[in-house]
Structure 1
Amino acid sequence: MRDLSILLSLCIASLLAQPTCTLRSHLKIKELVGFAWKNCGSPDDPAVMKTLSISPDPISVPGNLMASAMGTTSVALTAPVSLNVTLEKEVAGFWVKIPCLEEIGSCHYSNACDLLDQVIPPGQDCPEPLHTYGLPCHCPFKAGDYSLPQSQFYLPDIELPFWLTNGNYRVQGVMGADGKELGCLKVSLSIHSA
């Protein structure tokens, strides 16, 4: 679960921690459809997601989301933890890689722990339900198994850059440290904006 909490936290941080930029429009996500995930690393990666369940489908934004997960990491995840994100959008039946613009898209983050600190300042309690279940939201993440029981999260309105609108997307995040891959998670979903 620690790898889950860091991967999900990092994904959220990479979207929310960015400064407002001139490329943003007033498009808001209306719903997310067809969420799917899989581990994409090698069998000996130390950080592995075992289960991840998200409902309903479609997920309304704003709205409530139910999620549960189990994962493990056999090594401690300590700063700096790099994160390579590859974001692709389906265009006319082909998958097109979206470049890194304003730190959103297919970007490399040399220390993803800093992203977590931007979203949840150090010293502040982890948000619910992570706090209730004793799940960390900052580096370091100790080695071990973690589980998030079925829990409810509220998704607020989220503004999108104008170039990240309706469509099918694939996102791959690869965590690493000291030149070694720690874990890889691939997510696919469809975004419908208002």
Structure 2
Amino acid sequence: MDRSVMLAVTVSLVVAGVVTQVSCRRVTNAKVLGFDWKNCGQPDAPAVLKTLALSPDPITIPGDLTASASGTTSVELAAPLAVNVTLEKEVAGFWVKVPCVEELGSCHYEDACEILNQLIPPGQDCPEPLHSYGLPCRCPFKAGSYSLPQSDFYLPNMDLPYWLTNGNYRVQGVLGSQGKELGCLKVALSLHSD
């Protein structure tokens, strides 16, 4: 067996072993560096993120974040709205797919609309600044253009599995409905914490 293949298999097994021991720790004094994003869907994809700007660089946790974004959808985004997430972590120079453990990692979510309903129950106002700008926070999202002007947010300390607290990451999310891909987004970042 080729040495690089053997190393990749070994690293994958080590990462899988680490991931299965999901114990969380409080992330304090963390920094997100090198945040980058791009659309990865077809040129005629119905749902597209047009702009996304985050500052400062690096982003500190806990700390203040300024964000703006815009996007469009040519179709209504309604339940069930599937999302396939692929999370990769760089380990010893190789990109290793992180398995789905306790709904975190490379997971398939049958209905993102239901997840939004759990986070922000129907009947409850959308959180700021979405509420002020009249932006929806739950399904259905009507066809059209959406824009979040430059807005300030506070990022509190958070609990993350210890294997997710330091390193370089790539995340791809594919949005779909009834077997049809509606959009795709790739994000890359480095996370460093004390």
TM-score, L = length of structure 1: 0.86
1:11-30 correspondence runs (5 A): 23-28=22-27, 30=30
Equivalent residue of 2:125, what SS? coil
Distance 2:40 2:175 in 1: 11
1:59-70 correspondence runs (5 A): 59-70=59-70
- 2:133 and 2:148 in contact (8 A); partners too: yes
User: What CA RMSD, in Å, does the superposition of the two structures yield over aligned residues?
Assistant: 1.4
Distance 1:32 1:128 in 2: 23
Displacement of 1:26 in angstroms is: 1.9
1:69-108 correspondence runs (5 A): 69-108=69-108
Q: For 2:192, give the aligned amino acid.
A: H
Q: Where in structure 2 are there 5+ consecutive unaligned residues? A: 1-20
Distance 1:106 1:25 in 2: 18
TM-score, L = length of structure 2: 0.86
> What is the aligned partner in structure 1 of residue 39 from structure 2?
39
Equivalent residue of 1:60, what SS? strand
1:41-56 correspondence runs (5 A): 41-56=41-56
Question: How many correspondences in the alignment?
Answer: 174
Displacement of 1:23 in angstroms is: 2.2
Matched, 1:141 2:141: yes
Q: For 2:27, give the aligned amino acid.
A: K
Distance 2:80 2:95 in 1: 31
Distance 1:191 1:27 in 2: 14
Bigger CA radius of gyration: 2
Q: For 1:26, give the aligned amino acid.
A: R
> What is the aligned partner in structure 2 of residue 8 from structure 1?
none
- 2:26 and 2:157 in contact (8 A); partners too: no
- 2:22 and 2:101 in contact (8 A); partners too: no
Runs (4+) off by over 4 Å: none
- 2:55 and 2:65 in contact (8 A); partners too: yes
Distance 2:191 2:23 in 1: 16
Displacement of 1:27 in angstroms is: 4.0
Distance 1:96 1:34 in 2: 19
Provide Cα deviations, 1:54-113, integer angstroms capped at 9, x if missing partner. 010110101110011111000000000000000000111111100000110000001111
